[in-house]
Amino acid sequence: MRLNIGSVLFILFIASACRKGENISTDQNAKLSISSTAILFDTIFTSAGSTTRRIKIVNPNHDAVKVSEIRLSGGNTSAFTININGAQTLLKNDLIVNGHDSINLFVKVSINPNTNNLPFLVEDSIILNTNGNKQVIQLLAYGQNAVFVNETSINTNTIWTKTLPYIINGSLTVKHGAALTIQPGTKIYFHKDAGLNIEGNLTVNGSLTEPVLFCSDRLEKVYSDEPGQWKGIFLKRTGYGLIKNAIIKNASVGITSDSLSVNSNPKLILSNSIIKNMQAAAYIGYHSELLAFNNVMYNCGNYLIYAVGGGNYNLKQNTFAGYNLNFPRKTASLSFSDYLSVNAYNKLQINLTNNIIWGSLTNELDIQKKTAASVQFNLWHNLIRSTNNTHNSNGNILNIDPYFNNQEMENFQLSANSSARNKGADLSADPYFTGYLDKDIIGNERISPSTLGSYEK
């Protein structure tokens, strides 16, 4: 039997009408299905708000049900707010949910400041009543007071402590003539696209047990390893840095430096630190200077170190692990060049000693000479993954796996049979040995001949 268009439309109309007026069940067994009955918000900085969580509420029954109330238990005194199908409310009565249909419930939390320095717990619940059935969704959030720094400058000598975390919104600039000193255990969180510009002096005094943390202010688990959430640290022409025992993660570029030192002080000393999960690079230097000892760098989009336009680079006992969890990288982890542009090229000096330069590519070290500028490099006792066989001298080890314990789990300590063990040059006469190279990144004494990389054991 063939149906004409009019008949089809009539049948669809009848079906739709039946749907709209479908039977509402009063059966006490007709419960709703809730996607999550407990919502935990990770640490929320007071007065900064949070992400929104979605809860899907499904009626798995054939018939419709009437939800007599959906209620935020804490009412208008709650730190939480709820939104039901696009409408913000504290209470919704007599909401019909058709059979096999669903509603979306969104939850957000904003925590007011209080006098607590330590994290504190905020709780509430959402109550749903359907046919005499009470269902509860627990809401939990950890709150934390903080010092909020909004698009400003530091013009005098300033000390930051671990008492409260710091939240940077916009650009914070340490002006020329001023110094920012950061004490052990301090946590510095950056809002989206925020950054730290150094025109004066930056001293990061982390310790083995209390490193200084630089990362995004998005602390939910889904963002824990997400690159590109903030801009990074930028040493300007007049800026200098000493960074010791720090963790820098999840930025676009960990550290950028755009010039050489204009006095006897090194432009930047970086030691015993971890730089990871960068969208572009852990470090970028434009005709600049870096002294790096006992650091671990990994999981960066294009480079671990990108140094162009010449400069001075003294890198010892570092682990450069070119493993990329988030990026299809095609460039060598360490890339040096005398060239920046037609009008910007300079002398390049490189000293690489006792490092591990390894990764997923067949060439993880690239030293380029493109101009008439002098390029001088000394490579001593490094383990390198490289296609350049001329590096196979001066105690260097080429293309032998260092056998990290577990790079997928970010464990770059070495297995007992690693070929990097006891292959290091004696650095006891190095001017930076005491205080920088005499111990490894986790405090073990260096024993000559040392193990290559940042871990002695």
Walk along the chain (457 residues) in steps of 10 and give the mean pLDDT of each run: 50 46 84 92 78 92 94 92 91 93 93 76 94 93 90 97 94 97 97 96 98 92 90 97 98 96 94 97 97 97 96 98 84 95 87 97 95 91 96 96 95 96 97 97 96 97
* Residue 377, in any domain of the structure: yes
* Residues 71 and 164 occupy one common structural domain: no
What pLDDT score was predicted for residue 121?
86
* Residues 260 and 300 occupy one common structural domain: yes
What pLDDT score was predicted for residue 234?
98
Total domains in the chain come to 2
* E-state strands within 59-154: 64-72, 80-84, 87-89, 91-97, 102-109, 120-130, 133-144, 147-154
Q: Given the structure tokens 């690239």, which residue do they identify?
A: 366
Largest pairwise CA distance in the chain = 98
**Which of 100, 119, 143 is the C-terminal boundary of a domain?**
143
**Which of 127, 143, 159 is the C-terminal boundary of a domain?**
143
* Residues 127 and 152 occupy one common structural domain: no
* Residue 54, in any domain of the structure: yes
* Residues 200 and 327 occupy one common structural domain: yes
What pLDDT score was predicted for residue 29?
87
Interior angle at CA 418, CA 414 and CA 421, nearest 5 = 85
411-416: long-range contacts at Cβ-Cβ below 8 A with a sequence spacing of 24 or more? 412/296, 412/298, 412/319, 412/321, 412/453, 412/454, 412/455, 413/455, 413/457, 414/451, 414/453, 414/455
**Which conformational region is residue 250 in: left (phi greater than 0), alpha (psi within -120 to 50 degrees), or beta?**
left
* Residues 131 and 191 occupy one common structural domain: no
* Residues 281 and 154 occupy one common structural domain: yes
Distance CA 48, CA 36 (A): 25
* Residue 452, in any domain of the structure: no
* Residue 334, in any domain of the structure: yes
Secondary structure tally for the chain: helices H, strands E: 1, 40
CATH number for the domain spanning 66: value is 2.60.40.10
Distance CA 368, CA 350 (A): 12
Contact 400, 360 (CB under 8 A): no
* Residues 160 and 264 occupy one common structural domain: yes
Contact 241, 198 (CB under 8 A): yes
Residue 251 CB-half CA count within 13 A: 30
What domain range includes position 311? Answer: 147-437
Q: How far is CA 25 from the centre of its chain?
A: 50
Q: Positive or negative, the Cα torsion across 431, 436, 440, 441?
A: negative
First to last CA, the chain: 83
Backbone angles phi, psi at 107, to 5 degrees: -125, 135
* Residues 128 and 204 occupy one common structural domain: no
* Residues 208 and 276 occupy one common structural domain: yes
Distance CA 213, CA 181 (A): 14
Tokens of 332: 């060598």
Average pLDDT, the chain: 91
Q: Nearest-CA neighbor of 173 among 139, 144, 201, 193?
A: 201
* Residues 165 and 116 occupy one common structural domain: no
* Residues 305 and 416 occupy one common structural domain: yes
Burial (0-12, 13-18, 19+ Cβ within 10 Å), 185: middle
* Residue 450, in any domain of the structure: no
Global pTM exceeds 0.75:
yes
What pLDDT score was predicted for residue 4?
57
Residue 261 CB-half CA count within 13 A: 16
Q: What one-character-per-residue DSSP string does 376-411 give?
A: EEEEES-EE--S-GGGS-TT-EES----EEEGGGTE
What pLDDT score was predicted for residue 119?
78
Q: Nearest-CA neighbor of 289 among 331, 255, 317?
A: 255
Distance CA 111, CA 390 (A): 60
Contact 383, 400 (CB under 8 A): yes
Distance CA 344, CA 357 (A): 28
Q: How far is residue 395 from each of residues 12, 260, 332, 383, 403, measured CA to CA in Å? A: 82, 30, 21, 9, 19
Q: Which residues make Cβ contacts (< 8 Å) with residue 247, sequence separation at least 6?
A: 211, 212, 213, 214, 215, 273, 274
* Residue 121, in any domain of the structure: yes
- β-partners of residue 188 are 166, 214
Contact 319, 297 (CB under 8 A): yes
* Residue 198, in any domain of the structure: yes
Contact 137, 37 (CB under 8 A): yes
* Residues 263 and 405 occupy one common structural domain: yes
Backbone angles phi, psi at 6, to 5 degrees: -60, -40
Q: Nearest-CA neighbor of 359 among 386, 324, 323?
A: 323
**Which of 143, 177, 208 is the C-terminal boundary of a domain?**
143
* Residue 115, in any domain of the structure: yes
Q: Which 3 state secondary structure label does DSSP give 279?
A: coil
